[in-house]
Structures are given as C-alpha cells and as structure tokens.
Amino acid sequence: MLKFNFYGHACFLLDDGKYKLLFDPFLSGNPQAAIKPDDVKADYVFVTHAHGDHVGDAYDILRKNQATLVCIPEVADLVGDEVKSIGMNLGGTIKLPFGFARMVPALHSAGVAGGTCCGYVVHIADKNIYFAGDTCLFSDMKLIGERDKIDYAVLPIGGHFTMDAYDAARAVEFLGAKNVIPVHYNTWQPIEQDAEEFKKLIKGAAVHIVKPGESIELA
C-alpha cells in the first residue's frame, strides 16, 4: 500500500509502510500547512529547488529525522556536511532502498546561484510517481512519460509562477499519466484556481483532488 499525504501548497509525503519520502517541505509560514515541522517523520527529503516555498523547513526536518536530502548539488551545498545528502543532476537516476529516483527537467528559476529547478520520477511500491515541481508546460514531458509509464502525476496548476490548469491538463496528455493530483494552488491570491474546473479539463486520466491534511491510497 502506498499513501499520499498532502500537507499543503506543494508539500506531500509518500509512505509505503516502510519508507517515508517527503517532498518540498514548506510548512512554517505556509497558510495551508496541515502539519508542524516537528511532527514530520521522513527518511528522505526531496527538494526541487531553493525557493523558500519549496525548500522551506527541509534542513530542520533533515536534522531531526537524520534523513537524507536528495536535490541538485547547489542546494546540497547550502547545508554542506550538516546533513546527509545525495546531490544529483538532470537525467540522473539513483537506486534507493525503496526503488529509484530519477531527476527530470523543470522550467523555472532555481532560487540558488548556479542551480536549476527539477522534477522527479520516483519508483516506489511498484508505481511511478512524477512530481513536476514548479514548471511551465514543455513538450519534453512526452519523453518523461515514454521513459517511465506514469501512474500518478503530481502537477502544479496555480498559474502566475507555474503552469495553470489549462497547461497542466495538456501536461497530463503529454505524460500519458493514468492519474493526476493537482498541487501548488490556492495558497495565496495570485495562484487561486478551482480544482473542480481543472478536473473538467482532464480526459483519459483520473483526477484526485486532495485537500491539505488529507491522505489517499495510491492504488
């Protein structure tokens, strides 16, 4: 069983019953936050880029849990030797005890000099989960879906800083994803979106609207 726990904005946890994978842990200062940083349990923390609403509480959570950070090397350099980290780069794949993680492109500013934004395809519990991170729509999403058949795509829909609902719907088509979970919307006024309207745009995939604090099983 694989659970998706949504903590608000773009922060979520994948839990296969043995390993806990936390993504973009922006909790302190997040008006949507459904959990406090001190209450988070994680084995791995994946960060897509160094903007504050994504790197967030990563370092405190890493130290408290003695977890391992997975990210672009420039983000890993921000913490130095304070925490365990695996610095990787676009196109790279690492084998981990739960499966693998592949770093894929995202088109967005990086939040750290010399870095770049990224997304991830994570293979866990016999499923491929694609987290786009912050990005616009780009045609090479088709290649991501060709390389790894995407069971669940976790996509931003807020617009303004990322792709909006319309472009996210096109992304689902490019990826050939079986399921999609919208994130990165309604945190603040500039990224207000109606997830039900996004749902109406999707054809050929199931849309799972998960509210902050809610969990679903990824079947």
| Domain ranges, ordered by start, for the chain | 3-217
Please state, rounded to an integer, the average pLDDT across all residues of the chain. 97
- Tokens (6 digits) for 141: 């999403």
- Tokens (6 digits) for 202: 């999707």
Of the candidates 105, 109, 107, 57, the one whose C-alpha atom is nearest the C-alpha of residue 83 is 57
CA distance 49 to 83: 17
Please determine, for residue 82, whether its predicted confidence score (pLDDT) is greater than 90: no
Angle at 15 between CA 52 and CA 181, to 5 degrees: 65
Beta-carbon contacts of residue 181 (< 8 Å; ≥ 6 apart): 4, 6, 152, 153, 154, 155, 207, 208, 209, 210
CA distance 112 to 58: 15
Higher local confidence (pLDDT), 175 or 78: 175
> In whole angstroms, what separates CA 186 from the centre of its chain?
16
- Class of domain 3-217 (CATH, top level): alpha beta
- Count of CB atoms situated within 10 Å of the CB of 31: 10
User: Which of the 8 DSSP states describes residue 158?
Assistant: B
Using a pLDDT cut of 90, give the percent of the chain over it: 97
CA distance 15 to 188: 28
Please determine, for residue 79, whether its predicted confidence score (pLDDT) is greater than 90: no
Q: Is 210 exposed, middle or buried (0-12, 13-18, 19+ CB in 10 A)?
A: middle
Please determine, for residue 182, whether its predicted confidence score (pLDDT) is greater than 90: yes
The tens digit of pLDDT for each residue in 125-167 reads 999 999 999 999 999 999 999 999 999 999 999 999 999 999 9
The pTM of the full predicted model, rounded to 2 decimals, is 0.98
